[in-house]
Amino acid sequence: VTPTPLARRIAERIRREGPISVADYMALALGDPEHGYYTTREPFGAAGDFVTAPEISQVFGELIGLWCGVVWQGMGAPAPVALIELGPGRGTLMADAMSAAGKVLPAFAAAVALVCVETSSRLRRRQAATLAARHPGARVTWHEDLAAAPGGPALIVANEFLDALPVHQYVRSVAGWCERRVGIGTDGEGLALIDVPIDGAPPALPARLATSPQGSIVELAPARLAVVREIARRVVRDGGAALIIDYGPFASGAGDSLQAVRRHRFQDVLDRPGETDLTSHVDFEAIADAAAAAGAAVFGPLPQGTLLRRLGAEQRLATLSRGRAPGAAAELAAGVRRLIDPKAMGLLFKALALAHPALPTPPGFDPAG
Ligand SMILES: C[S@@+](CC[C@H](N)C(=O)[O-])C[C@H]1O[C@@H](n2cnc3c(N)ncnc32)[C@H](O)[C@@H]1O
Protein backbone atom coordinates (compact mmCIF):
# COMPACT_ATOMS: atom_id res chain seq x y z
CA VAL A 1 0.00 0.00 0.00
CA THR A 2 1.33 3.42 -0.87
CA PRO A 3 1.60 5.81 2.07
CA THR A 4 -0.58 8.93 2.07
CA PRO A 5 1.13 12.20 1.04
CA LEU A 6 0.86 13.30 4.67
CA ALA A 7 2.49 10.06 5.92
CA ARG A 8 5.41 10.77 3.57
CA ARG A 9 5.77 14.31 4.80
CA ILE A 10 5.59 13.24 8.45
CA ALA A 11 8.28 10.60 7.81
CA GLU A 12 10.50 13.24 6.18
CA ARG A 13 10.07 15.52 9.15
CA ILE A 14 10.93 12.70 11.57
CA ARG A 15 14.09 11.90 9.58
CA ARG A 16 15.07 15.56 9.85
CA GLU A 17 14.02 16.34 13.43
CA GLY A 18 13.59 13.03 15.22
CA PRO A 19 10.41 11.39 16.54
CA ILE A 20 7.45 13.71 17.13
CA SER A 21 4.96 13.61 20.00
CA VAL A 22 1.61 11.87 19.60
CA ALA A 23 0.10 15.35 20.06
CA ASP A 24 2.05 16.78 17.11
CA TYR A 25 1.14 13.74 15.03
CA MET A 26 -2.54 14.19 15.87
CA ALA A 27 -2.44 17.92 15.10
CA LEU A 28 -0.84 17.23 11.68
CA ALA A 29 -3.10 14.29 10.85
CA LEU A 30 -6.25 16.31 11.56
CA GLY A 31 -5.29 19.89 10.85
CA ASP A 32 -2.42 20.03 8.35
CA PRO A 33 -3.39 22.96 6.08
CA GLU A 34 -2.75 20.93 2.93
CA HIS A 35 -3.33 17.27 3.74
CA GLY A 36 -5.06 17.20 7.14
CA TYR A 37 -8.18 15.13 7.70
CA TYR A 38 -10.50 18.07 8.42
CA THR A 39 -8.86 20.12 5.66
CA THR A 40 -9.53 17.55 2.96
CA ARG A 41 -12.58 15.54 3.95
CA GLU A 42 -16.18 15.70 4.79
CA PRO A 43 -16.18 12.94 7.39
CA PHE A 44 -19.80 12.89 8.54
CA GLY A 45 -22.60 10.46 7.82
CA ALA A 46 -23.18 7.02 6.41
CA ALA A 47 -21.00 7.71 3.35
CA GLY A 48 -18.23 9.22 5.50
CA ASP A 49 -16.24 7.94 8.45
CA PHE A 50 -18.38 8.55 11.53
CA VAL A 51 -21.71 9.96 12.68
CA THR A 52 -22.14 12.60 15.39
CA ALA A 53 -25.16 13.27 17.61
CA PRO A 54 -26.60 16.22 15.61
CA GLU A 55 -26.44 14.08 12.47
CA ILE A 56 -28.28 11.23 14.23
CA SER A 57 -31.29 13.22 15.39
CA GLN A 58 -32.56 16.78 15.00
CA VAL A 59 -33.73 16.51 18.62
CA PHE A 60 -30.12 16.93 19.78
CA GLY A 61 -29.61 20.39 18.28
CA GLU A 62 -33.17 21.46 19.06
CA LEU A 63 -32.81 20.73 22.79
CA ILE A 64 -29.44 22.48 22.87
CA GLY A 65 -31.02 25.51 21.20
CA LEU A 66 -33.70 25.63 23.89
CA TRP A 67 -31.08 25.10 26.60
CA CYS A 68 -29.28 28.17 25.27
CA GLY A 69 -32.51 30.16 25.14
CA VAL A 70 -33.43 29.37 28.74
CA VAL A 71 -29.91 30.25 29.94
CA TRP A 72 -30.23 33.50 27.97
CA GLN A 73 -33.45 34.36 29.84
CA GLY A 74 -31.55 33.74 33.10
CA MET A 75 -28.87 36.17 31.88
CA GLY A 76 -31.52 38.90 31.64
CA ALA A 77 -32.12 38.42 27.91
CA PRO A 78 -29.23 40.56 26.57
CA ALA A 79 -29.47 41.58 22.92
CA PRO A 80 -27.47 40.97 20.89
CA VAL A 81 -26.13 37.68 22.22
CA ALA A 82 -23.62 35.43 20.48
CA LEU A 83 -24.34 31.75 19.91
CA ILE A 84 -20.84 30.43 19.47
CA GLU A 85 -20.18 26.89 18.33
CA LEU A 86 -16.70 25.39 18.41
CA GLY A 87 -16.15 23.01 15.49
CA PRO A 88 -19.66 23.14 13.98
CA GLY A 89 -19.07 20.29 11.50
CA ARG A 90 -21.80 20.54 8.88
CA GLY A 91 -23.68 23.24 10.77
CA THR A 92 -26.52 20.86 11.60
CA LEU A 93 -26.58 21.45 15.36
CA MET A 94 -26.63 25.21 14.89
CA ALA A 95 -29.42 25.04 12.30
CA ASP A 96 -31.55 22.75 14.48
CA ALA A 97 -30.88 24.95 17.53
CA MET A 98 -32.06 28.04 15.64
CA SER A 99 -35.15 26.26 14.30
CA ALA A 100 -36.27 25.29 17.81
CA ALA A 101 -35.39 28.70 19.23
CA GLY A 102 -37.32 30.41 16.44
CA LYS A 103 -40.46 28.44 17.29
CA VAL A 104 -40.30 28.36 21.07
CA LEU A 105 -38.25 31.41 22.07
CA PRO A 106 -38.46 33.84 19.13
CA ALA A 107 -37.05 36.75 21.15
CA PHE A 108 -33.91 34.71 21.75
CA ALA A 109 -33.64 33.69 18.09
CA ALA A 110 -34.00 37.34 17.08
CA ALA A 111 -31.23 38.43 19.46
CA VAL A 112 -28.73 35.81 18.31
CA ALA A 113 -25.66 36.43 16.19
CA LEU A 114 -24.18 33.09 15.11
CA VAL A 115 -20.45 32.59 15.52
CA CYS A 116 -18.63 29.57 14.11
CA VAL A 117 -15.15 28.74 15.36
CA GLU A 118 -13.79 26.55 12.61
CA THR A 119 -10.33 26.01 11.13
CA SER A 120 -11.32 23.98 8.06
CA SER A 121 -12.28 26.19 5.12
CA ARG A 122 -14.05 23.25 3.50
CA LEU A 123 -16.28 22.80 6.56
CA ARG A 124 -16.78 26.58 6.79
CA ARG A 125 -18.31 26.46 3.31
CA ARG A 126 -20.46 23.55 4.35
CA GLN A 127 -21.68 25.39 7.47
CA ALA A 128 -22.43 28.49 5.39
CA ALA A 129 -24.49 26.41 2.95
CA THR A 130 -26.49 24.70 5.73
CA LEU A 131 -27.24 27.96 7.53
CA ALA A 132 -28.07 29.88 4.33
CA ALA A 133 -30.52 27.15 3.30
CA ARG A 134 -32.24 26.81 6.65
CA HIS A 135 -31.89 30.28 8.17
CA PRO A 136 -31.50 32.76 5.36
CA GLY A 137 -30.76 36.18 6.75
CA ALA A 138 -29.14 34.89 9.96
CA ARG A 139 -26.03 36.81 10.95
CA VAL A 140 -23.06 34.41 10.86
CA THR A 141 -19.32 34.98 11.20
CA TRP A 142 -16.38 32.57 11.20
CA HIS A 143 -13.24 32.71 13.32
CA GLU A 144 -10.07 30.66 13.72
CA ASP A 145 -10.36 30.37 17.48
CA LEU A 146 -12.48 31.54 20.38
CA ALA A 147 -10.06 34.34 21.26
CA ALA A 148 -10.64 35.84 17.79
CA ALA A 149 -14.44 35.80 18.16
CA PRO A 150 -16.13 39.13 19.02
CA GLY A 151 -16.73 39.81 22.74
CA GLY A 152 -20.01 40.24 24.60
CA PRO A 153 -22.46 37.88 26.29
CA ALA A 154 -22.45 34.43 24.73
CA LEU A 155 -23.79 30.92 24.75
CA ILE A 156 -21.00 28.56 23.74
CA VAL A 157 -21.54 25.03 22.47
CA ALA A 158 -18.86 22.42 21.77
CA ASN A 159 -20.00 18.96 20.68
CA GLU A 160 -17.28 16.44 19.82
CA PHE A 161 -14.79 19.28 19.55
CA LEU A 162 -12.34 18.67 22.38
CA ASP A 163 -11.84 15.01 21.41
CA ALA A 164 -10.21 16.20 18.17
CA LEU A 165 -7.64 18.39 19.93
CA PRO A 166 -4.21 16.81 20.42
CA VAL A 167 -3.16 14.67 23.40
CA HIS A 168 0.26 13.66 24.63
CA GLN A 169 0.76 10.09 25.79
CA TYR A 170 3.16 9.08 28.56
CA VAL A 171 4.14 5.55 29.42
CA ARG A 172 5.46 4.40 32.76
CA SER A 173 8.29 2.05 31.87
CA VAL A 174 10.72 0.12 34.08
CA ALA A 175 13.12 3.03 33.69
CA GLY A 176 10.57 5.72 34.59
CA TRP A 177 8.24 7.91 32.54
CA CYS A 178 8.65 7.96 28.76
CA GLU A 179 6.79 10.02 26.19
CA ARG A 180 5.19 7.99 23.44
CA ARG A 181 6.31 9.41 20.11
CA VAL A 182 5.89 8.69 16.44
CA GLY A 183 9.12 7.63 14.78
CA ILE A 184 10.26 5.49 11.85
CA GLY A 185 9.79 1.72 12.18
CA THR A 186 12.51 -0.91 11.92
CA ASP A 187 11.77 -1.31 8.19
CA GLY A 188 13.20 2.20 7.80
CA GLU A 189 10.03 3.42 6.11
CA GLY A 190 6.72 3.14 7.95
CA LEU A 191 5.68 5.14 11.00
CA ALA A 192 5.92 3.43 14.39
CA LEU A 193 5.15 4.31 18.01
CA ILE A 194 8.21 4.46 20.21
CA ASP A 195 8.61 5.31 23.87
CA VAL A 196 11.31 7.88 24.47
CA PRO A 197 12.67 8.50 27.97
CA ILE A 198 11.83 12.00 29.14
CA ASP A 199 14.78 14.32 29.66
CA GLY A 200 14.51 16.31 32.82
CA ALA A 201 11.27 16.70 34.70
CA PRO A 202 8.49 14.16 34.11
CA PRO A 203 5.15 15.54 32.91
CA ALA A 204 3.09 17.33 35.54
CA LEU A 205 0.67 14.51 36.27
CA PRO A 206 -2.25 14.84 38.67
CA ALA A 207 -1.48 12.88 41.86
CA ARG A 208 -3.85 10.07 40.95
CA LEU A 209 -2.04 9.46 37.67
CA ALA A 210 1.50 9.97 38.95
CA THR A 211 1.22 6.75 40.95
CA SER A 212 -0.01 4.67 37.99
CA PRO A 213 1.57 1.21 37.92
CA GLN A 214 4.35 0.27 35.55
CA GLY A 215 3.13 -0.22 31.99
CA SER A 216 0.39 2.40 32.37
CA ILE A 217 -0.27 4.93 29.68
CA VAL A 218 -1.59 8.33 30.66
CA GLU A 219 -2.84 11.08 28.40
CA LEU A 220 -2.48 14.82 28.95
CA ALA A 221 -4.17 17.33 26.69
CA PRO A 222 -2.84 20.84 27.34
CA ALA A 223 -4.55 22.09 24.15
CA ARG A 224 -7.94 21.00 25.50
CA LEU A 225 -7.35 22.56 28.89
CA ALA A 226 -6.31 25.80 27.17
CA VAL A 227 -9.60 25.91 25.21
CA VAL A 228 -11.64 25.15 28.32
CA ARG A 229 -9.83 27.89 30.28
CA GLU A 230 -10.55 30.29 27.42
CA ILE A 231 -14.25 29.35 27.45
CA ALA A 232 -14.41 29.75 31.24
CA ARG A 233 -12.64 33.11 31.19
CA ARG A 234 -14.96 34.29 28.45
CA VAL A 235 -18.22 33.47 30.26
CA VAL A 236 -16.87 34.97 33.47
CA ARG A 237 -15.68 38.15 31.72
CA ASP A 238 -18.57 38.80 29.31
CA GLY A 239 -21.44 36.80 30.81
CA GLY A 240 -22.99 33.62 29.53
CA ALA A 241 -22.58 29.88 29.71
CA ALA A 242 -21.14 26.97 27.78
CA LEU A 243 -22.24 23.42 27.12
CA ILE A 244 -19.49 20.92 26.37
CA ILE A 245 -20.50 17.46 25.18
CA ASP A 246 -18.01 14.79 24.33
CA TYR A 247 -17.04 11.25 25.11
CA GLY A 248 -14.78 10.27 27.95
CA PRO A 249 -14.69 9.26 31.60
CA PHE A 250 -16.07 11.16 34.61
CA ALA A 251 -12.73 10.87 36.42
CA SER A 252 -9.11 11.00 35.29
CA GLY A 253 -7.58 7.58 34.88
CA ALA A 254 -4.77 5.78 33.10
CA GLY A 255 -5.38 4.21 29.70
CA ASP A 256 -4.68 4.59 26.00
CA SER A 257 -7.83 6.04 24.44
CA LEU A 258 -6.37 7.29 21.16
CA GLN A 259 -8.44 5.86 18.36
CA ALA A 260 -8.52 6.03 14.60
CA VAL A 261 -11.70 5.59 12.57
CA ARG A 262 -12.20 5.37 8.83
CA ARG A 263 -15.42 4.31 7.14
CA HIS A 264 -17.02 3.50 10.50
CA ARG A 265 -14.23 1.04 11.40
CA PHE A 266 -11.38 1.24 13.87
CA GLN A 267 -7.93 1.45 12.30
CA ASP A 268 -4.38 1.53 13.58
CA VAL A 269 -3.68 5.08 14.82
CA LEU A 270 -0.78 5.40 12.38
CA ASP A 271 -2.77 4.12 9.42
CA ARG A 272 -3.26 6.57 6.51
CA PRO A 273 -2.83 9.91 8.32
CA GLY A 274 -4.93 12.62 6.68
CA GLU A 275 -7.52 10.08 5.56
CA THR A 276 -8.41 8.78 9.01
CA ASP A 277 -10.12 10.46 11.95
CA LEU A 278 -8.18 10.53 15.22
CA THR A 279 -9.70 11.26 18.62
CA SER A 280 -9.15 10.44 22.24
CA HIS A 281 -11.37 10.46 25.29
CA VAL A 282 -11.91 13.77 27.02
CA ASP A 283 -10.91 13.72 30.70
CA PHE A 284 -13.96 15.43 32.23
CA GLU A 285 -12.40 15.70 35.67
CA ALA A 286 -9.43 17.56 34.23
CA ILE A 287 -11.53 19.98 32.18
CA ALA A 288 -13.97 20.61 35.05
CA ASP A 289 -11.02 21.46 37.33
CA ALA A 290 -9.52 23.77 34.70
CA ALA A 291 -12.84 25.60 34.25
CA ALA A 292 -13.36 25.99 38.01
CA ALA A 293 -9.81 27.28 38.44
CA ALA A 294 -10.56 29.91 35.77
CA GLY A 295 -13.52 31.14 37.83
CA ALA A 296 -16.52 29.56 36.11
CA ALA A 297 -19.36 27.84 37.93
CA VAL A 298 -19.21 24.20 36.82
CA PHE A 299 -22.21 21.86 36.50
CA GLY A 300 -21.95 18.16 35.80
CA PRO A 301 -20.59 16.21 34.09
CA LEU A 302 -23.85 14.36 33.49
CA PRO A 303 -24.34 11.41 31.17
CA GLN A 304 -25.60 12.73 27.83
CA GLY A 305 -28.68 10.51 28.12
CA THR A 306 -29.59 12.02 31.49
CA LEU A 307 -29.29 15.58 30.20
CA LEU A 308 -31.29 14.92 27.04
CA ARG A 309 -34.06 13.14 28.94
CA ARG A 310 -34.28 15.97 31.46
CA LEU A 311 -34.47 18.48 28.62
CA GLY A 312 -37.45 16.62 27.17
CA ALA A 313 -36.06 14.39 24.40
CA GLU A 314 -38.86 11.86 24.76
CA GLN A 315 -41.61 14.50 24.67
CA ARG A 316 -40.03 16.08 21.60
CA LEU A 317 -39.85 12.66 19.95
CA ALA A 318 -43.53 12.06 20.66
CA THR A 319 -44.47 15.41 19.10
CA LEU A 320 -42.30 14.80 16.05
CA SER A 321 -43.68 11.29 15.56
CA ARG A 322 -47.33 12.34 15.61
CA GLY A 323 -48.98 11.67 12.27
CA ARG A 324 -45.86 10.11 10.72
CA ALA A 325 -45.83 6.83 8.84
CA PRO A 326 -44.74 3.95 11.12
CA GLY A 327 -41.40 3.57 9.31
CA ALA A 328 -40.53 7.25 9.69
CA ALA A 329 -41.62 7.27 13.34
CA ALA A 330 -39.49 4.20 14.06
CA GLU A 331 -36.48 5.91 12.47
CA LEU A 332 -36.96 9.01 14.60
CA ALA A 333 -37.28 6.86 17.72
CA ALA A 334 -34.14 4.87 16.85
CA GLY A 335 -32.16 8.12 16.53
CA VAL A 336 -33.27 9.46 19.91
CA ARG A 337 -32.73 6.06 21.52
CA ARG A 338 -29.16 5.96 20.22
CA LEU A 339 -28.41 9.33 21.83
CA ILE A 340 -29.97 8.39 25.18
CA ASP A 341 -29.46 4.66 25.63
CA PRO A 342 -26.61 3.97 28.10
CA LYS A 343 -25.52 1.08 25.87
CA ALA A 344 -25.21 3.43 22.88
CA MET A 345 -24.13 7.09 23.34
CA GLY A 346 -26.13 7.89 26.47
CA LEU A 347 -23.50 7.09 29.06
CA LEU A 348 -20.12 7.24 27.29
CA PHE A 349 -20.90 10.81 26.24
CA LYS A 350 -20.97 13.40 29.01
CA ALA A 351 -22.24 16.95 29.25
CA LEU A 352 -20.50 19.65 31.27
CA ALA A 353 -21.86 23.15 31.72
CA LEU A 354 -19.78 26.21 32.62
CA ALA A 355 -21.43 29.45 33.58
CA HIS A 356 -20.91 32.92 34.93
CA PRO A 357 -21.12 32.42 38.72
CA ALA A 358 -24.15 34.75 39.05
CA LEU A 359 -26.35 32.66 36.73
CA PRO A 360 -28.98 30.18 37.88
CA THR A 361 -28.30 26.44 37.48
CA PRO A 362 -28.59 25.72 33.76
CA PRO A 363 -31.53 23.57 32.57
CA GLY A 364 -31.03 19.85 33.15
CA PHE A 365 -28.15 20.28 35.62
CA ASP A 366 -30.22 20.69 38.76
CA PRO A 367 -29.20 17.82 41.07
CA ALA A 368 -32.89 17.39 41.99
CA GLY A 369 -33.51 16.54 38.34
C1 LIG B 1 -15.78 15.69 15.16
S2 LIG B 1 -16.17 17.18 14.33
C3 LIG B 1 -17.62 17.61 15.22
C4 LIG B 1 -18.56 18.40 14.40
C5 LIG B 1 -19.87 18.84 15.04
N6 LIG B 1 -19.68 19.52 16.31
C7 LIG B 1 -20.81 17.67 15.19
O8 LIG B 1 -21.14 17.35 16.32
O9 LIG B 1 -21.22 17.11 14.18
C10 LIG B 1 -14.93 18.33 14.85
C11 LIG B 1 -15.10 19.73 14.31
O12 LIG B 1 -14.11 20.59 14.86
C13 LIG B 1 -13.37 21.25 13.83
N14 LIG B 1 -12.01 21.45 14.37
C15 LIG B 1 -11.10 20.50 14.65
N16 LIG B 1 -10.01 21.05 15.23
C17 LIG B 1 -10.26 22.37 15.33
C18 LIG B 1 -9.54 23.48 15.88
N19 LIG B 1 -8.34 23.32 16.41
N20 LIG B 1 -10.13 24.69 15.83
C21 LIG B 1 -11.36 24.86 15.29
N22 LIG B 1 -12.09 23.86 14.76
C23 LIG B 1 -11.54 22.63 14.78
C24 LIG B 1 -13.48 20.30 12.67
O25 LIG B 1 -13.16 20.90 11.45
C26 LIG B 1 -14.93 19.87 12.80
O27 LIG B 1 -15.81 20.87 12.35
pLDDT, averaged per 10 consecutive residues of the chain (369 residues), comes to: 91 96 97 94 86 96 98 98 98 98 98 97 96 96 97 98 97 90 92 88 75 91 97 98 96 94 95 96 97 98 98 97 94 97 97 98 86
CA of 86 to the centre of ligand 1 (A): 7
Ligand 1 center from residue 88 Cα (angstroms): 6
Instruction: Supply the pLDDT for residue 140.
Output: 98
Nearest CA to ligand 1 atom 14: 87
103 CA to centre of ligand 1 in angstroms: 27
Of 24, 60, 116, 119, the residue with max ligand 1 atoms within 8 A of its CB, to mutate for a pocket test, comes to 119
**HEC per residue, the chain:** CCCCHHHHHHHHHHHHHCCEEHHHHHHHHHHCCCCCHHHHCCCECCCCCECCHHHHCHHHHHHHHHHHHHHHHHCCCCCCEEEEEECCCCCHHHHHHHHHHHHHCHHHHHHEEEEEECCCHHHHHHHHHHHHHHCCCCCEEEECCHHHCCCCCEEEEEECCHHHCCCEEEEEECCEEEEEEEEECCCCCCEEEEEEECCCCCCCCCHHHHCCCCCCEEEECHHHHHHHHHHHHHHHHHCEEEEEEEECCCCCCCCCCCEEEECCEEECCCCCCCCCEEECCCCHHHHHHHHHHCCCEEEEEEEHHHHHHHCCHHHHHHHHHCCCCHHHHHHHHHHHHHHHCCCCCCCCEEEEEEECCCCCCCCCCCCCC
Kindly give the distance from the C-alpha atom of residue 142 to the centroid of ligand 1, in angstroms, as a whole number: 13
Which of 114, 117, 118 best tests ligand 1's pocket when mutated (most atoms within 8 Å of CB)? 118
| Confidence (pLDDT) at 47 | 84
Pocket test for ligand 1, best of 85, 161, 167 (most atoms within 8 A of CB): 161
Q: What global pTM score does this model have?
A: 0.97
Protein residue whose Cα sits closest to atom 4 of ligand 1: 89
User: What are the pocket residues of ligand 1 if the criterion is a CB atom closer than 6 Å to any ligand atom?
Assistant: 31, 38, 52-55, 87-89, 93, 117-120, 123, 159-161, 164-165
Distance 211 CA to ligand 1 centre (A): 34
Q: How far is the CA of 118 from the centre of ligand 1 (A)?
A: 7
pLDDT at position 369: 54
| Closest protein CA for atom 13 of ligand 1 | 87
Nearest-atom number in ligand 1 for the CA of 127 is 27
Going by alpha carbons, the residue nearest to atom 24 of ligand 1 is 87
Q: What separation in Å is there between the alpha carbon of 165 and the centre of ligand 1? A: 9
Residue 93 CA, ligand 1 centroid: distance in Å: 12
CA–centroid distance, 89 to ligand 1, in Å, is: 6
What local confidence, expressed as pLDDT, does residue 209 receive?
83
